[in-house]
Structure 1
Amino acid sequence: MAAEVATTGMLTIPPDSTFFSRERVERILAFVIAVGCAVLGLQSLFHAIGSTQEDHGWNLVLTFVTFGPLVLMIAAGVAGRFYRPLAAAFAIIFPLVLICWPIATAGREASATAEPWIWYLLNVATVATALAFPLLLQYLWCALVPVLYGVVRLIQIGADVTSVIQVSRQVVYAIILAVVMIMIGWMLRLLAERLDRTREDAVRSYAAAAAADAVEQERISVAALMHDSVLAALIAAERASTPRERDLAVGMARDALTRLANADREAEEGPDEPVEPTFIVDGIRAAAAEHDVDIDVRIAVDQRAQPLPGRVARALALAAAQAVVNAIEHAGGAGLHAEVTADDRRVVVRIVDAGDGFDVQAVPEDRLGISGSIVARVAAVGGQARVRSTRRGTAVELRWEYTR
């Protein structure tokens, strides 16, 4: 009866990627607001230069007080640094400029049809709050600044019905536009926060999965150690009938005790320095020699074959050694031989015997000779282990491919 079992195990690390974070949204908002404010600021500056609606002295003072902080805020927004305090400064200074506007225009001829240069900066002052103020104050500024403009504008041109209607339309338009811009900023920040939260949850879940995987790998290593060393030593001691067999059992027991003592320091894993594929051949021959068997190892290593990571070579060597031990113990070593092939793409190790075979699917889960010491051990380093067994014998194939 033929049976087959194969498995592959690999811990996949998600590729590094860029996340849409709150910090990035803040930088984008600062840059976009700076560009928009620069456009509106230039438009307002052209109207402010040579304006006749206010006294000439006041014009110079208000222009300097208004556009000085505005230029600094725009520069900081483009640079992405110190834009919050400068935006807050402009958002506070501009209402003070509005309060001074009736004084600056007192006694001057007013035109209801020509908007003053301060009109073009209403939404600059409101959108600046999106960079510096809490959301509640942002909405407060959306109403306060346009309404304050409406009051000082009516003081300047008079509060007749036509002027009130005209200025009211301007105020409502400014409020609506300000609210829309504040809502866009709020929605972008909310989206960024949710994405950041999702990212944190994903990282936390991945960390938990990685921790669980580490525990599982440790369990596999301990189980394989128990089977490879301790159980093998006990079985050898039980079956020893000659002085040579007893000496071998004593040596296996001594080795098992050493590996158990060093298990907490991961002595079995060792360094991860690259080794040649022939390292696996040495491990197979050593395992056979422990049972006083001279195994035929057929080697086909291509010149293009690359060195293996140390942990991979050890896993393949230990899994192959366990397959050799199984063949000796259960098949009497009949027809036992090994094949090790390597090229620039993969390493393949085959352990073959000519015993009576067994039903792979019928092997109990608590028997670790195949599931723990061979299949799980190879899967832990990203390889594949395949066991085929028929009445004509058993073949264990271990396969590991280089990362491209």
Structure 2
Amino acid sequence: MPAAEWRVARLATRRRTAVTRAQVETISGRALGLFGLVFGAQTVPLALEQSAALIEGAGAALMAVLYGSLVAVAVASIAKLAVRGAAFAFAALYVLALLAWPFLVADPAALVGQTPWLYYICTVATTAAVVALPAPVATGYTLIVPTIYGVIRLLPAGGAVDPLLAVLNSMYAIILGVVVLIIVVMLRQAAESVDTAQEAALQRYDLAARQHATENERVKVDALVHDSVLTTLLSAAAAESPEEQDLAARMARDAVKRLDEAGAAGPRALDRVGLPVLVRRLRAALTTFSAPFTVRVVNAGGVELPVEAVEALYSATVQAMVNSMQHADEPGRSTRRELRIRGVRTGGAVIEVADNGVGFARDEVPEERLGLRVSIEERMANAGGAAEIASRPGHGTLVTVSWPSDAEGVGA
């Protein structure tokens, strides 16, 4: 195996075995969903028992809200859809349930010496905060929520326990929450470092792969020119009889056909890149723009695209966003912009750049304006993808780019 191809194969193997930020988020979400169900199931008998001490219907309502949100987290983690939203909802509902607990207890004497069942899912709530919120906010949640529980434990509604026991309960919950927080944050930081190194390596590999493919193509064309074109020219120059001229003509047609086939094949980068890499590159590009975009990403995990497709999608998307910033704004009116990225099965992607700006009539765009025709439509077509531009004056613009050209969502 040539040295260049060996390096390519080695890099591809390393990329497949690396742990990415997307994988860390998937694992964290699924662990939250699984252990949330387990911890929640363990508290059901105690929750049913303590419901008798609450205002009529309050126990059933609390159980429905918290257990229902735990099930929602588990379903979202399995489907890999809106995991952070479901985790945030549970974390918020848990705080509300904790604050409402003293007001929902109708018979405090029945709870003296008992531990409110909410305590046993406190770690689930702090883990949900870690999954859903930035690290500083999650840290505050991890410290404050168990402290609130400790205060409740001092009240008759919380069991009226000794202050030392209340402090110990709070500290135990805080320690568990902090351990989970540290583990998840460290995994995220490590994965981000891997992602950054992977992206830089892929960019270097893309350049090397293209150079390697171009060199192979040059050698191939040189051989073709020598074996077919030069032979045809020499035969044509020496042809005198009609039979020789007819033979030279057939050789010329064959040489042209072979040149066309070689040109159509063209060099291709062989490696595939995860869609989250493209998402990070687009987010990085957004940091350099003067106008904000709302970013929505769906089903990016597990989707891999050829390097050539990633480059085309990135360039076309950036051009569409630049066009929106340059032409969509209307004096005296704010413009909303969105970047929507969606994975299609395991090998396709659809990206939409939308705004509610002034819009335009496509047939009125001058031919010398190349931003739409060349930078978006032709770039995607050359890479085997597709682009669709929908706009009307006063109704905003929607640019949809996809790879491959038959990916779901284009034209929908």
| TM-score (normalizing by structure 2) | 0.50
* 1:202 aligns to 2:211 (yes or no): no
Query: Shift in Å at residue 146 of structure 1?
Result: 0.4
CA 1:124/1:268 → structure 2, altered by over 3 Å: closer, same or farther? closer
Q: CA RMSD in A?
A: 4.6
* Matches of 2:172 and 2:94, distance apart in 1: 18
CA contact (8 A) 1:84 1:132 kept: yes
CA contact (8 A) 1:110 1:156 kept: no
* Matches of 2:263 and 2:79, distance apart in 1: 51
CA 1:154/1:110 → structure 2, altered by over 3 Å: closer, same or farther? farther
Which range moved further: 88-97 or 218-227?
A: 218-227
CA 1:8/1:182 → structure 2, altered by over 3 Å: closer, same or farther? closer
* Matches of 1:74 and 1:126, distance apart in 2: 16
Q: Which amino acid aligns with 1:44?
A: T
Q: State the partner residue of 1:105.
A: 105
CA 1:45/1:215 → structure 2, altered by over 3 Å: closer, same or farther? same
CA contact (8 A) 1:98 1:149 kept: yes
Q: State the partner residue of 2:92.
A: 92
Q: Which whole-Å deviations, capped at 9, do the CAs of 1:71-113 have from their partners, x for residues lacking one? A: 2222322343332212111111111111111112255205553
Q: State the partner residue of 2:122.
A: 122
Which range moved further: 205-214 or 93-102?
A: 205-214
CA contact (8 A) 1:127 1:182 kept: yes
Q: State the partner residue of 2:192.
A: 193
| Count of residues in Structure 1 that have an aligned counterpart in Structure 2 | 258
Q: State the partner residue of 1:163.
A: 162
* Matches of 1:108 and 1:222, distance apart in 2: 88
Query: Shift in Å at residue 64 of structure 1?
Result: 2.5
CA 1:271/1:231 → structure 2, altered by over 3 Å: closer, same or farther? closer
CA contact (8 A) 2:101 2:157 kept: no
Q: Which amino acid aligns with 1:36?
A: F
CA 1:9/1:74 → structure 2, altered by over 3 Å: closer, same or farther? closer
* Matches of 1:97 and 1:75, distance apart in 2: 22
* 1:28 aligns to 2:16 (yes or no): no
Give the number of the structure whose alpha-carbon radius of gyration is greater.
Answer: 1
Query: Shift in Å at residue 142 of structure 1?
Result: 0.1
Identity of aligned residues (%): 34
Query: Shift in Å at residue 224 of structure 1?
Result: 6.7
Query: Shift in Å at residue 143 of structure 1?
Result: 1.0
Q: Which whole-Å deviations, capped at 9, do the CAs of 1:291-330 have from their partners, x for residues lacking one? A: xxxxxxxxxxxxxxxxxxxxxxxxxxxxxxxxxxxxxxxx
Q: State the partner residue of 2:212.
A: 213
CA 1:218/1:151 → structure 2, altered by over 3 Å: closer, same or farther? same
| TM-score (normalizing by structure 1) | 0.51
CA contact (8 A) 1:40 1:120 kept: yes
Which range moved further: 168-177 or 204-213?
A: 204-213
* Matches of 1:32 and 1:45, distance apart in 2: 20
Q: State the partner residue of 1:135.
A: 135
CA contact (8 A) 1:54 1:105 kept: yes
CA 1:8/1:168 → structure 2, altered by over 3 Å: closer, same or farther? closer
Q: State the partner residue of 1:146.
A: 146
* Matches of 1:125 and 1:33, distance apart in 2: 9
Equivalent residues in 2 for 1:42-81, closer than 5 Å: 42-51=41-50, 52-81=52-81
Q: Which amino acid aligns with 1:163?
A: D
CA contact (8 A) 1:73 1:87 kept: yes
